[in-house]
Amino acid sequence: MGRPAALPVRRDAVTYGGLGAGVLAVSSAAVLIRLAEAPALAVAAWRTGVAALLFLPLAWSLYPKALGAVGWRTWLLLLLAGASLALHFAFWIASLSYTTVASSVFIVTANPLLVALGAWLLLGERPRGRVLGGIGIALGGGVLLAWGDGGGLGAGGRKVLGDGLAFLGAVAVALYYILGRRVRPSLPLLAYIGPVYAAATLLLVGAGVTSGTPLWGFSGRSLAFLLLVAFLPQVVGHSLLNWALGRLPAVVVSTAVMAEPVLATALAWLFLGERPPLTTLVGGGIILGGVWWGVRRG
């Protein structure tokens, strides 16, 4: 990938406000995906496909010169970011069929240590001690949250499979954040997310067709929730996170996203009846404290 020159950092109220709004929006994904009642690849393809149809034409019309000046190395990084996003969604959405929202979302958002290591080695962004401390605090709370959530949707092997899929999703999204931090500062937001979402969509649709997964023909109810998944967590949420990657280190953005399991658990309690035990509530409070420490002090 090559280590670039020092990347820009902007710590202000607008940056943190956009980051917080992005985390809030992506936290709705797990519940909306459950309510959609569609195959994992179909949900992922709809999620990125709607966003690509919205953003790619805008990118070409608003930033033709910026996209025309993109070299082959940057195009390769954009394609890799799209592939990482596709793998992240495919693994993580599949995990929701085997384990609970709390366990799945905690595991997939426990990626900042991977991001911290990768961003240090590949981008030269050495994480501060307080950021790592915040990650450690949040991970401790996440362990408590997931332990209290141990029952899962299925017993034994089903939950292990779900947790394993969520972990693979965490690895993929860590690479997605690192690639986004590498490319985003050099491109306008739409010129970045348009090609990335399009690349992810092509891979997901190809995987769905190859595997025989139905990608359309859903009920009106499922279609409504698929569109909500596309617009709220993707068009709004992921786009704001990518915007933040142009202004903040990748590890700070990924640390902020560790608040997602707390918000997702609250939404699952409200809409799915997955009432969290006391240990989950306590763990959620610790996670939020760790996120505050890591982001505020980072």
Query: Is 138 a residue whose pLDDT tops 90?
Result: no
User: Does residue 86 belong to any structural domain of this protein?
Assistant: yes
pLDDT of amino acid 122: 81
Q: Which residue has the higher pLDDT, 140 or 66?
A: 66
pLDDT of amino acid 82: 97
pLDDT of amino acid 3: 54
Query: Is 152 a residue whose pLDDT tops 50?
Result: no
pTM of the model: 0.84
Query: Is 48 a residue whose pLDDT tops 90?
Result: yes
User: Does residue 5 belong to any structural domain of this protein?
Assistant: no
pLDDT in tens, 176-185: 999 999 999 8
Lowest-confidence pick of 16-25, 139-148, 275-284: 139-148
d(CA 252, CA 162): 27
User: Does residue 1 belong to any structural domain of this protein?
Assistant: no
Percentage, residues of the chain above pLDDT 70: 92
User: Does residue 183 belong to any structural domain of this protein?
Assistant: yes
User: Does residue 3 belong to any structural domain of this protein?
Assistant: no
* Confidence band, pLDDT 50/70/90 cuts, at residue 63: very high
User: Does residue 2 belong to any structural domain of this protein?
Assistant: no
pLDDT of amino acid 150: 56
User: Does residue 6 belong to any structural domain of this protein?
Assistant: no
Sequence-distant (6+) residues with CB within 8 A of 185 are 7, 8, 246
User: Does residue 286 belong to any structural domain of this protein?
Assistant: yes
pLDDT of amino acid 116: 83
Query: Is 2 a residue whose pLDDT tops 70?
Result: no
pLDDT of amino acid 125: 80
Query: Is 43 a residue whose pLDDT tops 60?
Result: yes
* Confidence band, pLDDT 50/70/90 cuts, at residue 211: very high
Q: How many domains does the chain have?
A: 1
pLDDT in tens, 66-83: 999 999 999 999 999 999
pLDDT of amino acid 153: 45
What is the SS3 assignment for the chain? CCCCCCCCCCCCHHHHHHHHHHHHHHCCHHHHHHHHCCCHHHHHHHHHHHHHHHHHHHHHHHCHHHHHCCCHHHHHHHHHHHHHHHHHHHHHHHHCCCCCHHHHHHHHHCCHHHHHHHHHHHHCCCCCHHHHHHHHHHHHHHHHHHHHCCCCCCCCHHHHHHHHHHHHHHHHHHHHHHHHHHHHHHCCHHHHHHHHHHHHHHHHHHHHHHHCCCCCCCCHHHHHHHHHHHHHHHHHHHHHHHHHHCCCCHHHHHHHHHHHHHHHHHHHHHHHCCCCCHHHHHHHHHHHHHHHHHHHCC
pLDDT in tens, 244-295: 999 998 888 988 888 887 888 888 888 888 787 777 778 878 887 877 777 7
Q: Which range of residues forms the domain containing residue 135?
A: 13-296
